[in-house]
């Protein structure tokens, strides 16, 4: 009984997240499926040195641990697109890769924090009233805060 309630609650939260952040949820689900199948898509040897990390607007971004892996990705772009299509991971128009120098990343300067974003109770309550009345109040509050934060942080200019 308790597991049933938990699953129902999780399903409601998932539905709300998909409603509020459809593109983000799509990207996360797509990347999760791609990461699980990455050795099939890229080949086992290349998968050890590469990993998909984002998809935006049909552009798949793949990280490579070394220059050789980055070059192999460049040569295999068509094969990777075809393998993704066979696995029902369609929508990829362009594949962009980048080489990440692991030593440089470890020795790099710490990332500076961005400006603090203020979130008012009125903004949170507005999101809750519009979208989140049918889920647990604590979860609704957390999701509303997240939505307001994303709208302010990633506002379209």
d(CA 73, CA 89): 18
Quick one: 34 and 84 in the same domain? yes
SS3 (DSSP) at 54: strand
Looking at the DSSP bridge assignments, the partners of residue 55 are 60
Distances (CA, A) of 138 to 24, 29, 106, 123, 147: 22, 24, 38, 16, 14
How does pLDDT run across 8-34, given as a tens digit for each residue?
877 888 788 788 888 788 888 888 988
With a cut of 70, say whether residue 2 has pLDDT above it: no
Domain-ending residue, one of 107, 126, 148 = 107
Mark whether 149 and 98 lie in a shared domain. Answer: no
39 and 100 part of one domain: yes
0.75 exceeded by pTM: no
| Residue 1 pLDDT grade (very low, low, confident, very high; cuts 50, 70, 90) | low
DSSP 59: E
Q: How many domains does the chain have?
A: 2
Q: Which domain holds residue 60?
A: 24-107
Q: How many CB atoms lie within 10 A of CB 21?
A: 16
pLDDT by residue (tens digit) across 100-116? Answer: 655 444 444 444 455 66
The chain-wide mean pLDDT, for the chain, equals 78
């Amino acid at each position: 009984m308790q597991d049933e309630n938990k699953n129902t609650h999780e399903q409601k939260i998932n539905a709300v997240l998909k409603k509020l952040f459809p593109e983000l949820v799509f990207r996360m689900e797509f990347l999760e499926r791609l990461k699980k199948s990455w050795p099939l898509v890229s080949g086992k040897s290349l998968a050890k040195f590469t990993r998909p990390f984002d998809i935006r607007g049909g552009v798949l971004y793949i990280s490579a641990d070394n220059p050789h892996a980055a070059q192999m990705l460049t040569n295999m772009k068509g094969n990777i697109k075809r393998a993704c299509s066979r696995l029902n991971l369609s929508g990829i128009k362009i594949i962009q890769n980048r080489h990440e120098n692991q030593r440089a990343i470890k020795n790099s300067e710490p990332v500076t924090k961005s400006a603090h974003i203020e979130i008012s109770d009125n903004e949170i309550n507005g999101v809750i009233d519009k979208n989140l009345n049918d889920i647990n109040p604590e979860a609704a509050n957390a999701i509303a805060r997240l939505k307001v934060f994303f709208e302010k942080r990633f506002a379209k200019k």
